[in-house]
Amino acid sequence: MATPLNYRPNADAMIIGVGLMGQHMATHVIEWLGLRKLVLVDHSPTIMVGTEKATLADFAASISAANATGVEVVAETVDVTDENDVRGLFARHPGINYLQHTAGISPKPLTPPEDLTKEDVMRSCEVNLWGTHNVIKQGVRHGGFAKGARGVIILSTSATVGAEGRASAAYEESKGGLLNLLKLQSRHFVEAHGLILNGLAPSPLRGTMAAQNEVSAGRLQAVEDAMPLGGLTAPRHIAAATMYFWSDDCWCVGEVLTIDGGYTKHKPIYGPLPSSSVGR
């Protein structure tokens, strides 16, 4: 079937952060792109797949076994905050065409900013802001990206940056810095290094871990109850947006696409105001 979207043949893709979103992409992207190589990167050698623990290497092997194309699927355990670690990653896998970066931490959700410690804030900034900056830095300096490579950075996986502060104040602050990196420096990266960066800002996903945490589960339900399109954002919604930004036909640089079913949009009020608010 003909499609308006075009991609590079025999390309190499890298997914950093093999959680709910990363696993969904890994499961489908080989077929979608006809990849030559897929590199799966996480900070831990063990990940949660559904409700079960699995090694990252075993998950990569299962992805490879499910595809009869002979694509190479590689598992890499890397600390994105470590310059040597990330430099070594790109030395082993140069010329990446497609990058999806989902790695991030969200410490102490629903905690007021004044109750956070310096460690809470600085660790969030180290992983979410510096970790992403480090991936871009090492990639452009050491041949990590092919000319015209396309990268998608996940700005938020709990609340759209700049619209809501009920997730983790430390998380939102660090992601706000990442938002500025993306929007203010993206033209530089495409002109100086041929790297095309865009971002996604999805609303919450109902992953296994979040669903089992009382605070997170309650917040997810509150978001779902207020979702104009109904339900919650799902990995397929993020995958579809990633594939758009990855396509040769995407004419965007430094744009951030909000994927939230309308959740963060202004809710207009028509008709008479509630009597309790009149005269206040």
pLDDT tens-digit readout, 154-176: 886 444 445 555 567 888 889 88
Cβ–Cβ under 8 Å, residues 157 and 207: no
**In angstroms, how far is CA 178 from the centroid of its own chain?**
12
d(CA 42, CA 75): 8
- Asked whether residue 64 is assigned to any structural domain, the reply reads yes
Instruction: Pick the more confident residue, 176 or 41.
Output: 41
Instruction: Pick the more confident residue, 28 or 3.
Output: 28
> H helices then E strands: how many in the chain?
9, 9
- What token pair was written down for 108? 């102490």
- What token pair was written down for 86? 């990330």
Strands 37-42 and 46-49: unpaired
What CATH number should be reported for the domain holding residue 178?
3.40.50.720
Q: Which amino acid is at 158?
A: S
- Asked whether residue 212 is assigned to any structural domain, the reply reads no
- Asked whether residue 46 is assigned to any structural domain, the reply reads yes
Report which secondary-structure segment, H or E, holds 145: strand 145-154
- Asked whether residue 136 is assigned to any structural domain, the reply reads yes
- Asked whether residue 228 is assigned to any structural domain, the reply reads no
- Asked whether residue 129 is assigned to any structural domain, the reply reads yes
What does the pLDDT read at residue 38? 98
Mean pLDDT (the chain) is 89
For 38, the domain range is 12-206+234-260
Cα radius of gyration rounded to whole Å, the chain: 19
Give which of 189, 159, 188, 161 is closest to 174, Cα–Cα.
161
What number is the average pLDDT over the span 62-78?
Answer: 94
- How many domains does the chain fold into? 1
**What's the angle, vertex CA 124, arms to CA 121 and CA 125, rounded to 5?**
85
Sorted by sequence, the CB contacts under 8 Å of residue 112 that are 6+ apart come out as 169
Q: Is the pLDDT of residue 50 over 90?
A: no
Tens of pLDDT, residues 105-154: 888 877 889 999 999 999 999 999 999 999 999 999 999 999 999 999 98
- Asked whether residue 22 is assigned to any structural domain, the reply reads yes
**pTM for the predicted model, two decimal places:** 0.90
Strands of 37-42's sheet in order across: 72-77, 37-42, 12-16, 96-101, 145-154, 196-202, 256-259
Work out whether the CA dihedral 83, 200, 97, 92 comes out positive or negative.
positive
- Asked whether residue 5 is assigned to any structural domain, the reply reads no
